[in-house]
Amino acid sequence: MQSDFEGRTEQEAIDKAVEELGLERDQFDVEILESSRKGLFKKGNVKIRVYYGSDDDSSDDFDEPVAEVSGICNPEAESENERKIVDFVETLIQKMGYTGSASISFRRDSKIGISIESTDSSILIGRKGKNLDAIQLIVNVYAGNLDPDLKIVVDSENYRMRHEEQIIRNAYKTAEMVKRTGRSRLLDPMNPFERRLVHTALNDVEGVDTKSEGDGLYKQVRIIPVK
């Protein structure tokens, strides 16, 4: 879910979100939508969008930072639904014309991680993980028919964790460049989950703001210098 708030400063807008939503600061992510500066006849204003709870607008929102998922357990399916999902993933890979096996990588609340092992992992992952995202979407549709509360995260060769780390490293590197040059820069188009990684990572970095630009699912994050 998401809501928009405004304030004279980013902190004031965040405080409004905390008060109105009844949440702690660490229970939501912040995206800066607008940040106008004070002028001679105009007060400064900041508009933010906060993301909280569950968001089923796209398959990307089924993800959570893989690096934060712990408590790996029995890789074997422990329930009938898990066995059906593992079998479905392996059958899907076979129908795509590749070989591979699937296993449980983690269980956390209503989320289940599925890890694919295959000699064709690079193809199953695809450019920027888009094939993996497509597989994940199909698997979630299937799992939703078994249990509407189930959310499946599909990974292969720890791609998602490596990809998350790369996105955050690039965000910090670009932020330093923006602060050094005083000129804003656009990052490559990203899905909602990836954009929230950037907004969250740079939220506490002094000297820069972030905002999303574009239409559709894949938008770009602009990193803006703040004096």
pLDDT at 28: 65
Q: Are 84 and 134 in the same domain?
A: yes
How many Cβ atoms sit within 10 Å of the Cβ of residue 196?
22
- Of 125, 157, 189, which residue sits at a domain end? 157
CATH number for the domain spanning 109: value is: 3.30.300.20
Q: Are 152 and 167 in the same domain?
A: no
pLDDT at 67: 47
Cβ–Cβ < 8 Å for 135, 100: no
Q: Are 108 and 123 in the same domain?
A: yes
Q: Are 171 and 218 in the same domain?
A: yes
Alpha-carbon torsion angle 222, 58, 98, 89, nearest 10: 140
**Domains of the chain: total:** 2
pLDDT at 26: 60
pLDDT at 37: 52
Cβ–Cβ < 8 Å for 192, 64: no
Measured between alpha carbons, how far apart are the two ends of the chain, in Å?
32
Q: Are 79 and 149 in the same domain?
A: yes
- Of 129, 157, 185, which residue sits at a domain end? 157
Q: Are 201 and 182 in the same domain?
A: yes
Sequence-distant (6+) residues with CB within 8 A of 137 are: 59
Sites in the chain below the pLDDT cut of 70: 1-2, 24-31, 34-44, 51-78
Q: Are 82 and 150 in the same domain?
A: yes
CATH number for the domain spanning 167: value is: 3.30.1370.50
pLDDT in tens, 27-48: 666 667 766 555 444 456 788 7
Q: Are 49 and 78 in the same domain?
A: no
- Of 157, 174, 194, which residue sits at a domain end? 157
How many Cβ atoms sit within 10 Å of the Cβ of residue 87?
12
pLDDT at 44: 60
Q: Are 173 and 211 in the same domain?
A: yes
Q: Are 150 and 166 in the same domain?
A: no
Sequence-distant (6+) residues with CB within 8 A of 171 are: 187, 197, 198, 201, 202, 221, 223
pLDDT at 58: 40
Q: What is the pTM of this model?
A: 0.59
pLDDT at 40: 45
What is the domain extent for residue 23? 2-54+162-225
∠ CA 20-216-175 to the nearest 5 degrees? 70
Q: Are 69 and 22 in the same domain?
A: no
Q: Are 65 and 148 in the same domain?
A: yes
Alpha-carbon torsion angle 198, 208, 53, 216, nearest 10: -60
